[in-house]
Structure formats: structure tokens, C-alpha cells
Amino acid sequence: MNFVSFRNLKLYQKITIVIFAMVLLTALSLYFSSNYIFKQNFELSIKKRVAETLDVTHSIIEDYHNRAVSALGIITLTPEFTGAVAAKNTSYINDYLRVIQSNLLLSIIEVYSKNGELLTRIEAKNLQNDRYHTLAESALLQDAFNKLKKACDIEFQNGVLQIKAVMPVVAPSTFESNGAVVITYPINHYFADLLRCITNTDVLIFNPRGELAASAVLNAEGQRDFGKFEFENDGFKKRHDVLPDFIFDAVNKKLNEKYCVARFNGNSYALGFSTLYKSDHSVAGIIACAIPLEKLYEVQKKTADFLKIFLLIVVVLTLIISYLFNRGLTGPLSILTQKAQIVKSGQIDDFNIPVASHDEIGILTDTFNQMTFSLKMMMNELTQTNQLLEQRLYEIKVLYDISQSINFISDTQELLSKIIQKTIEAVGAHHASIMLLNDTTDELEVKIIQGIAPHKISENKIDFENPSITGALAGAKLKSNLGIAGAVFGSAKPLIINDAPNDERFHKFPGTGYDIENMICVPLISNNKPYGVINVVNKNGGLKFSENDLHVITSIANQISLILEKVKLYEQSITDGMTKLFIHRYFQARLDEEIIRARRYQSTLSLIMLDVDHFKRFNDTYGHQMGDVVLVGVAGVVQSLIRNNIDIPARYGGEEFAVVLPETDIEGAYRLAERIRAEISKKAFEHNGKKVNVTASLGIASYPQHASNKLDLISRADMALYKSKENGRNRVSVYEP
């Protein structure tokens, strides 16, 4: 069947074919891969069992080591036994060791005197074989005599493998060797049979030459002949008397293969190999576990055959069941499909399909009914959403333009003018203004207004303390509790007023030549406290302001609050908190800048240093609080007489002040200094109902006439100041070389 024919089938036919194809494909995959899967799982399980058996076997051998060492400790630490060895009392030694052997199930116990003479040997009845006897020249025995060293190791001597444990018999008084005791466990066929009983697996043990030392595998005659094992390597089968090189390299003492399959007496065995090491990490022998495979292969084949028959039955049943089930399942879907075609044509007003069941098809039908109803509602909402989206996109564009202005415009007044203009454009208003609170008078003052040509003020800087804005509305003031602005300021909540003249809170400034029809007023907030408002007035075209307009202006107000906050923080960081003049650090930086500018443009620069006369005596007489009042008053005099935004007044330190006068020669500086001196001397300060006056001494130095660098200029202005003090105070002096 080609794809076009399949596509034209009914849904239940398609589902039946797909399910049948998937089941058939899965069954065929399992059918043809079952032998491989079973073989892999079979090999993994065999290898896992072999590895676990080898681990148990190693643990048993280690246990024999520990038993031998423990037995030696019991034997050699008995004072009577130590004395008997020293006296060569073989009768006592024999009696004592036979008791020990029967209780601890030891194999061979040998006792030697300190000169290497064998005093006695106790052997189990089945181990009377001189191949397991310890040689007098044995290294383990000699170390026990000469070095008082105890040891336990696997030895290969006289052609047999054995576990030997040696411990010296030490005289308690002299700590010298009286002899030694040796315990031997032969690693023989009996030992292999014992391991088989414990592990339920045939065990074979080979010596370091790869020869069979012990075996639990018997041939048909009951013999343990390893020569009849047949190994397969690279496709060739060979019989071996010893372990073949591809498994164990007897020359280099290296185990090359940990798992293989071999045949013995016509049976297959899975063999796992592991190395037995001596205490010096040399190879003492090889231990192997043999698992017969014939019965396991038979079980594997029967299981695989059963699985194949079972898969065939599953495929046939799946075909029948899927056909019947899909035929019944897709019936209601046909009805749903017909109704969906009606929905497609757009006829959804009175659309409703009866729900005949509560299964997934019923849920789908009910959901389809709800979906058509929701679709109608969503189509109505979509138009409104598109309009709102367009509005939000425009808001984002406005805020983006403002953020770009923040990045590229450094002048605060210019930046705020740009933002106010963007606000007017964003909501389509006639004009907008910013009013900030004057903490001293508790009034809201118009700081900037934009949109009305006569009132555009771009040349003035914002001064938070002393506003000086010109124009019909510039600098206009309103008590913070009056008008719509006062209501917004007091509540810290924005207002939309679309009928301003009839609002009882509305307050119109005198001198404005236009009518206010509607407005939006939004608070400017810093640290959760209002400090001003932004007013947007008269929607163009006689329209009314909306909630969207309020949303836009509120977002812009947040930007303005951020800007003004930064401006205020910067001004606070460079001005003295008490006198409101610049701090010493800022004075030093600005003097550097002005000297560089004067040098570049070959202009002049003057510096006035001012000190209040007898200020310490004044403080002692009238108190420090009165002294602070004087300093604030002197600073006010200086601030009132200098050029705004040109001259740089600073509190130099204590009662000393400094004024940097850019592009000012000696004559101009002298005239200003004399005016400052005269105003200070005339200013009266009230103390306890009495008028108190102070005077000041001033010194002047000019660049480049008196100095060519900052330090010299300050020093020489200071010298002129002290000249005024020396000449009677309350005077102005110019530096003279």
C-alpha cells in the first residue's frame, strides 16, 4: 500500500494499521534479537556470579590467614608453653598443641628451637605429607629467629601451595628468641572441595607455574586431571596441561584473561580467574571458579522459544483487538469532524454538539463546544487587545527615547526639557510643567514649563534651593495644600481631571492667557515621599485624558524622579551641609580645571581668600551655635554677590572661605572683595536681643600675574589674607611679591 492509498483510508483503519505495524516491528525485533539478548544477559550473569565467587574465595583465604595468626598468638603468648620451648620439653609441647589443634581445627603445627631444631610436629591425619614440612632454612623461619618477626604468607615450596604463618617464641625476661611456631594450611584438593562447599561453585587453584595445585572438578573416573581441559583461543581449540599463555603468562607472572569458556569431559564450563598475591605483591598462584554451562544453555533455549511463540500470539491478538476497538472509538469522531467543518465556515453562533459519553471523546466534544464559545469571545477581545498593544508599543518607544536622552544629554535642564516635550507628544497635550517643593516656604514652585512658546525656559538651570526662572509662569508658587497639584502632592496619588474649571480644587495662576480644560497631575516620589508633581494640561482636539495617558505619564514621572534624585544627591555630595557652599575637595578640583582653561585660552583667573576676624574669640564669647549662625550669614553674603554659575564659592575650612573668579583680573576681583567685606561688616546678627557684628579680612592673588600653578596661587592669596590681618583686619589686600 502506497502513502496516497493510506492517506485516503478511514481513521480507524489507519490506527489499526499503525498499531499492528508497531507491534509487528517490535515483535520481529525481539524475535530476531532474542538469542543475542539472552546470550548477552546470560554472559553478564555468569561473569557476575564468577566475580562474586572469586571475591568470596579470596575472603575465605584471608580468613585462613587471620585464623593462623590468631592461633599463633594464643600459642606463643602462654608462659608455660614459652618455658617448655626454652627447656625443649617436647612431651608438654605435644600435649599442649594437640589440645590446641583439636579446638582450633589447625592443619599442621611445627615447633622449632632457637637453633632451628624441630622439637615437634602435629599433623592432621589426612595431611601427613613431608612436602608441607617447613624447611629449617626457610626465610620466614629465619626472620622469626633473628628478627623476632611474625609473618603469614602463601608459599610455593616442594611443588605445593600452602598458607604458612610463623611467630617467634620470645622469652619474657630477655626478649630473646627461644624458638618459633609454624602453622601450615595446605592448598590442596581438600581445600578446593571445602571452597566448593562454601561457594557452591567448583574451584581450581594453580601454582605460580600455571600447574593445577588443587581442583574440585572431577572427571568421569573421579580424577582431578587438568590435562583434559580444552581451551578455545582465536578460533583454535587446544588441550593444555597447564594454564595457556593467553590466560596466564607463567614467565612474567601476569594474568592476561579473567574470563573464558573451556570444555572438560564433554561439558562446557565458564571459568573466571583471579590472582593470589604474596605479602611482597609477587604472584603466589591463580584461583579459578568453574560454572557448568550445559543446563544453563538448555534453560536459555527453552525461554527463547517460549518468547517467540508468545510474541506470535500477541501480534495476532493485537491485530484483532485494535481493529474492533478503533472501529468503535472513531465513530463519534466522525460526527465531531462534520461539525468542525461547519465551524470552519464561521457558523459558530448557535453551535452545540450533544455529549453522548463521559470518556475522552465526550470530554473532547464538550471541550469543542466550549472552545467555539470562547473563540467568539476571543475574537471580540482581540480587537481591543490589538488597540491596547499598539498603545503599549508606543509607550515603550517613548520610554526608549527618554532612556536614550538620559544616556546622551548631560545637562539636567536640557534633559528635563526633552522629557517634558516627549510627554506632551506621547499623550497629545498642549503643555506640561514640573513643580517642586520648597522646604523653606512649604510651597510648590514651577521649575520648568514646556509646550507654550513664551514659557519655554531652556537657558536656566534648576536650583533646588533658590529658583530663578523667568517667564509668565516660571517661578510661580502654590501652597503645597492648595489646588489640584496640592491634592496630588498631599495624597501621593495621581489624578485625571477632565473638567478642570468645575473642580472645586482647581486653582488658576493669574496672568495665564489660556483656559485649562482638563489635566493629569502625577506626584514625583523619592524614598516613598512626594517632593513635587508633573502637570500635563489640555488634551489636543478637545479630547479627554484616559487611563492609558495616565499610565504613560506615570512611567515618565518615575524617570524624572530618578533624574532629579541623582541631581540632588550630586549637589549634596559637593556642597557643605551648613553653609551650602562647595566643599574643599570640589574647590580644589574646580580650581585645577579653571587654571587649565585659563592657560589654554590665555585668560586671567583670580582667587579670593576670606577669613572671619577674631572668630575664635567670637565663639568663646557667644558660643559655637552663634558662630555657626555667623558662618551661614557670611556664606549668604558671598553667595548673593558673586556671579551665578560662573564664580565658584567654597568653604575652605573652619571660618575660612574661598572664591574662584574665572576670567577676572585683579581690579575686578578687588571690587568684588571690597563689596563682600563691606556687606559682611554691615550685616547684623541678633544675640539675646542685641545686635552683633563681625568683620572679615580678604586676600587676592591672580593667575598668571602672581602664580603659574594652583598651589602657588592658593599660597599667595593666603599670604595676602594674612597681610590684611597684620594691617588691622577688616580690609582687602592684593598679593605683592
Asked whether the beta carbons of 715 and 626 are under 8 A apart, the reply is no
Measure the CA–CA gap between 152 and 132, rounded to whole angstroms. Answer: 15
Asked whether the beta carbons of 199 and 61 are under 8 A apart, the reply is no
Asked whether the beta carbons of 506 and 515 are under 8 A apart, the reply is no
Q: Which of the listed CATH numbers 3.40.50.980, 3.40.190.10, 3.40.50.1820, 3.30.70.270 matches domain 575-734?
A: 3.30.70.270
Please give the sequence-ordered ranges of beta strands (E in DSSP) within 129-266, or none if there are none. 151-157, 160-170, 177-187, 202-206, 212-215, 229-233, 236-240, 248-249, 254-255, 259-264
Q: Count the Cβ atoms, other than its own, within 10 Å of residue 483.
A: 22
The alpha carbon dihedral of 384, 390, 396, 398 has a sign of: negative
**Per-residue pLDDT tens digits for 238-293:** 666 678 888 888 888 888 888 888 877 777 888 888 888 888 888 888 888 888 77
Question: What residues have CB less than 8 Å from 728, skipping those under 6 apart?
Answer: none
* R_g over Cα of the chain: 55
Closest CA to 508 of 540, 472, 544: 472
Question: What residues have CB less than 8 Å from 618, skipping those under 6 apart?
Answer: 612, 626, 627, 630, 694
- Give CA separation, 352 vs 340, 343, 359, 369, in Å: 11, 10, 18, 6
Torsion, Cα 250 256 259 265, to 10 degrees, reads -30
Q: Which residues are catalytic?
A: 655
Eight-state DSSP code of residue 735 = -
pTM for this one? 0.41
pLDDT (average), residues 129-153: 81
Eight-state DSSP code of residue 134 = P
The pLDDT of residue 466 is: 35
Q: Between the ranges 65-69, 438-442, 731-735, where is the mean pLDDT highest? A: 731-735
Phi, psi values for residue 285, rounded to 5°: 165, -175
7 three-state secondary structure: helix
Residue type (1 letter), 534:
I
For the chain, percent of residues with pLDDT exceeding 70: 77
> 66 or 105: whose pLDDT is higher?
66
**Per-residue pLDDT tens digits for 218-230:** 766 666 665 567 7
pLDDT (average), residues 155-160: 80
**Per-residue pLDDT tens digits for 464-512:** 333 333 344 666 777 877 888 888 888 888 888 888 778 878 877 665 6
* pLDDT of 210 strictly over 50: yes
For the chain, the residue count is: 737
Average pLDDT score over the chain: 79
556 three-state secondary structure: helix
**For residue 412, with 0-12 CB atoms within 10 Å meaning exposed, 13-18 middle and 19 or more buried, which class applies?**
middle
Measure the CA–CA gap between 650 and 365, rounded to whole angstroms. Answer: 83
Q: Facing residues of 232 across strands?
A: 237
Measure the CA–CA gap between 495 and 498, rounded to whole angstroms. Answer: 10
- Give CA separation, 172 vs 100, 105, 169, 626, in Å: 22, 28, 9, 101
Helix (H) or strand (E) holding 623: none
Asked whether the beta carbons of 164 and 152 are under 8 A apart, the reply is yes
Secondary structure in 3-state letters for 55-116: HHHHHHHHHHHHHHHHHHHHHHCCHHHHHHHHHCCHHHHHHHHHHHHHHHCCCEEEEEECCC
Measure the CA–CA gap between 77 and 95, rounded to whole angstroms. Answer: 17
The pLDDT of residue 136 is: 76
> 526 or 496: whose pLDDT is higher?
496
Q: Which of 505-514, 577-586, 625-634 has the lowest mean pLDDT?
A: 505-514
Backbone dihedral region of 173: left (phi > 0), alpha (psi from -120 to 50 degrees) or beta? Answer: alpha
Strand 443-450 relative to strand 429-438, pairing:
antiparallel
The pLDDT of residue 333 is: 66
* pLDDT of 639 strictly over 50: yes
577 three-state secondary structure: coil
The pLDDT of residue 456 is: 37
Strand 519-526 relative to strand 108-113, pairing:
unpaired
**Per-residue pLDDT tens digits for 34-53:** 666 666 676 787 788 888 88
The pLDDT of residue 236 is: 64
The CATH architecture one would assign to domain 409-571 is: 2-Layer Sandwich (3.30)
* 677-698 burial code (b ≥16 CB/10 A, e <16): bebbeeeebeeeeeebebebbb
* pLDDT of 163 strictly over 90: no
Q: Facing residues of 429 across strands?
A: 539
Closest CA to 611 of 651, 656, 676: 656
Backbone dihedral region of 233: left (phi > 0), alpha (psi from -120 to 50 degrees) or beta? Answer: beta
Measure the CA–CA gap between 442 and 532, rounded to whole angstroms. Answer: 11
pLDDT (average), residues 617-636: 90
Q: Cell numbers of 306, please?
A: 517460549
**Per-residue pLDDT tens digits for 412-435:** 667 777 777 777 877 788 888 888
**Per-residue pLDDT tens digits for 2-23:** 556 656 666 666 677 777 677 7
Please work out, in degrees rounded to the nearest 5, the angle formed at the alpha carbon of residue 561 by the alpha carbons of 559 and 563. 70
Cα of first residue to Cα of last residue in the chain, in angstroms, is 115
Q: Between the ranges 217-226, 454-463, 509-518, 591-600, where is the mean pLDDT highest? A: 591-600
Give 503-507's long-range contacts (Cβ < 8 A, gap of 24+). Answer: 507/478, 507/482, 507/483
Q: Count the Cβ atoms, other than its own, within 10 Å of residue 321.
A: 12
Give CATH for domain 188-292.
3.30.450.20
**Per-residue pLDDT tens digits for 291-342:** 877 777 676 677 777 777 777 777 777 777 776 666 666 666 666 676 666 6
Measure the CA–CA gap between 259 and 247, rounded to whole angstroms. Answer: 8
Q: Which residue has the cell 561453585?
A: 201
The pLDDT of residue 722 is: 94
Please give the sequence-ordered ranges of beta strands (E in DSSP) within 529-618, or none if there are none. 529-539, 605-612
pLDDT (average), residues 191-205: 82
Give 689-692's long-range contacts (Cβ < 8 A, gap of 24+). Answer: 692/622, 692/626
Q: Which residue has the cell 510651597?
A: 443
Question: What residues have CB less than 8 Å from 651, skipping those under 6 apart?
Answer: 576, 579, 581, 582, 583, 584, 631, 635, 657
Q: Which of 132-141, 315-324, 599-608 has the lowest mean pLDDT?
A: 315-324
Q: What is the DSSP string of 514-551?
A: S----EEEEEEEETTEEEEEEEEEEEGGG----HHHHH
Measure the CA–CA gap between 424 and 434, rounded to whole angstroms. Answer: 12
Measure the CA–CA gap between 1 and 9, rounded to whole angstroms. Answer: 11
For the chain, percent of residues with pLDDT exceeding 90: 16
**Per-residue pLDDT tens digits for 372-387:** 767 777 767 776 677 6
The pLDDT of residue 468 is: 33
pLDDT (average), residues 663-686: 92
> 711 or 48: whose pLDDT is higher?
711
The pLDDT of residue 54 is: 84
Asked whether the beta carbons of 436 and 442 are under 8 A apart, the reply is no
* pLDDT of 462 strictly over 50: no
The alpha carbon dihedral of 60, 62, 65, 70 has a sign of: negative
184 three-state secondary structure: strand
